[in-house]
Amino acid sequence: MIFGGIDIGSRTTKVCILENRKLVSYTIIKTTPKISETAYVAMSELLSKNGIHLKDISYIVATGYGRINVPFAHKQVTEISCHALGITFFSTNIRTILDMGGQDLKIIRCDEKGRVLKFIMNDKCAAGVGRFIERIAEILKIPIESVGPLSLDSTNPEKISNYCVIFALEEVLFLLKQGKVINNILAGVLDGFTERIFNMLNRFGIEKELAVCGGIAKNIGIVKRLEKMLEIPLFIPPEPQIVGAIGAAMFAKKFYENKEVFENGGIF
């Protein structure tokens, strides 16, 4: 039995296929404005890589902000539920999930069965999301992958006082003009960024263990800073971006096996 999960995020689209409880394969591509096209491209790429056909997949669940635009999905589930269920694929000891995506940030409390107990979300302001890091990388003309490593190699972090991304970018430009070192600017930016997330986590309340997923979990600069601030080890899945897609595939299995019976904690 093969099940598919597709997570259409605001910046990247993630697709994975599970055979019972084993991850067969996954792919991550950039989301284009034509969402259903992106979904097709991602899925067919994955299918041809594994030599299977769409009809071989018993059930497909879509999640993420573009989930309603996936023509081949049988059902849609919110990314909050998918992350809570998806994280159990990696570990059942996780009680708090920090999901840092391209355009939103979610903190989810879940139980050992992957049910959502409560969550908070920021999708109104760019100050704590991946887009901020992307913009900083653009302005400094460096690849986004090197933001984290460079920020850790800093002797004297600059202080970035602005909260808003737009104003912070202007501040960064001004620092550049003054001839400040990129590493120190980046360190300042990530210090502020991490502090915001830290404050949000504290307001929400952390229960161990804490998993970090989403694209930003790949940024070593933020992960290291968070670990230092929180003083607890973080659980980071081997591929932090596909937790939602795996959760969607696990939902597909549940839906397929007992049709309408399963309800994930009700409202979420």
Partner 1 sequence: MMIFCGIDCGTETLKIVLHVNGSLQWLVLPYESQFEPSFVEEVSYNFFKNQGIKISDIRNTVVTGSGRKLVTFAKKTLPEIFCLAKAVEKFFPDAGVAIDIGARSFNIIRCKRGRILKFITNNRCAAGAGISLKILSDILEVSLKELDDLYFLSQTPCYIHSACAVFMESEVISFLHQGKKVEDIIKGAILNFAGKIATLIAEVENEREIVFSGGVARMKSIAFALQDKLKKQILIPQNPEIINAIGASLIAQEMDIR
Among 22, 53, 55, 124, binds partner 1 (CB under 8 A): 124
Tokens representing residue 20 in the block:
């019972």
- CA 222 to mean position of chain CA atoms: 14
Strand order in the sheet with 210-213: 116-122, 105-110, 96-100, 210-213, 234-235
Burial of 125 (0-12, 13-18, 19+ CB in 10 A): middle
Least distance (Å) between residue 57 CB and partner 1: 29
> How many residues form the binding site for partner 1 (CB under 8 A)?
19
Binding mask 80-109 for partner 1 (x = CB under 8 A): -----------------------x------
**262 interacts with partner 1 by CB under 8 A:** no
Least distance (Å) between residue 166 CB and partner 1: 4
Return the DSSP state at 72.
T
| Footprint (CB under 8 A) of partner 1, residues 196-255 | none
Residue 147 to residues 30, 137, 193, Cα–Cα distance (Å): 19, 7, 13
**179 interacts with partner 1 by CB under 8 A:** no
Nearest to 253 by CA among 262, 244, 242, 266: 262
Among 107, 116, 165, 249, binds partner 1 (CB under 8 A): 165
Closer to partner 1 at the Cβ: 114 or 215? Answer: 215
Interface residues toward partner 1, by CB under 8 A = 10, 32-34, 103, 124-126, 131-132, 135, 162-167, 174, 177
